[in-house]
Amino acid sequence: MKLWVYVVRRLILLVPTILGLTFLVFALEHLGGTAVFLAQYINPHLTGTARQRLVEELTLRFHLNEPVFVQYFYWLGAIFQGDWGTSTTIGQPVSTGFLWFMPNTILLTALASLFTWIVSVPIGVYSASRRDSILDQGVRVATFTLYSMPVFLIGFALFLTLGTSWHLLPSHGNVDDQLLPTIPDSWFDHNFSVSSPTHILAIDALLHGDLTIAWNAVLQRRTPSCPP
């Protein structure tokens, strides 16, 4: 089979897969009924006529009086129109949340990949050149052991050892707590504690000319990058 045919087939299969998964998640979120869903958007202290009016507005807005599959297609249409809704966590549009947090996610992924390549490639080459040696057998045992463990468990263990117990790497936050008061308020978006303009503190600190904050922010990213 030609490569382009394989790629096209996989892309075609991707469409129903995404539709099926998104519908499944959408339906599961609505299993608790409209009351549970609306509770995310209604102030619990709001009562009386005002509460009832808001419930009616939200019901019409999200088409909650329609069957779930109809609600799904309304939601899907809004997604394609760029309306991703509002995050109940940050109180901002979901698209804004992506702009704020996606850069750090990309940075974390890049650091994790770099860490993996730096560690795994030399070990793999060395182990392959000395087949069935003690080192090769040790690598096999370690590989099978790590593959059999959940990733979150490995990450938690690394946090406890490297961060909490041995204090070799920071264990939380974007920057050391002692350095946080030294960062000017002008660096941050006051609607939420994200640095500007790139929303990656290490890069923003470099742009503002503070090498100390930049290096410390890089260290803060290294600990969560360690898990495979």
Q: Is the same domain home to 202 and 118?
A: yes
On whether the pTM is more than 0.85, the answer is: no
pLDDT tens-digit profile of 36-62?
777 777 877 777 888 888 888 888 888
Does 69 share its domain with 115? no
Asked whether residue 90 is domain-assigned, the answer is: no
Containing domain of residue 193, as a range? 95-225
Residue 89 counted as domain residue:
no
Residues 186 and 110 reside in one and the same domain: yes
Domain boundary among 37, 53, 83: 83
Count of structural domains within the chain:
2
Question: 88-102 b/e with 16+ CB inside 10 Å = b?
Answer: eeeeeeeebbeebee
| Cα distance between residue 149 and residue 169, in whole Å | 23
Q: Which two tokens stand for residue 77?
A: 């249409």
Which of 49, 83, 117 is where one domain is finished? Answer: 83
pLDDT at 187: 65
Structural element, H or E, at residue 100: helix 94-129
Query: Using 50, 70 and 90 to split pLDDT, how confident is the model at 21?
Result: very high
Judged against a pLDDT cut of 50, whether residue 203 lies above it is answered with: yes
| Mean pLDDT for all residues in the chain | 78
Q: Are residues 145 and 199 in the same domain?
A: yes
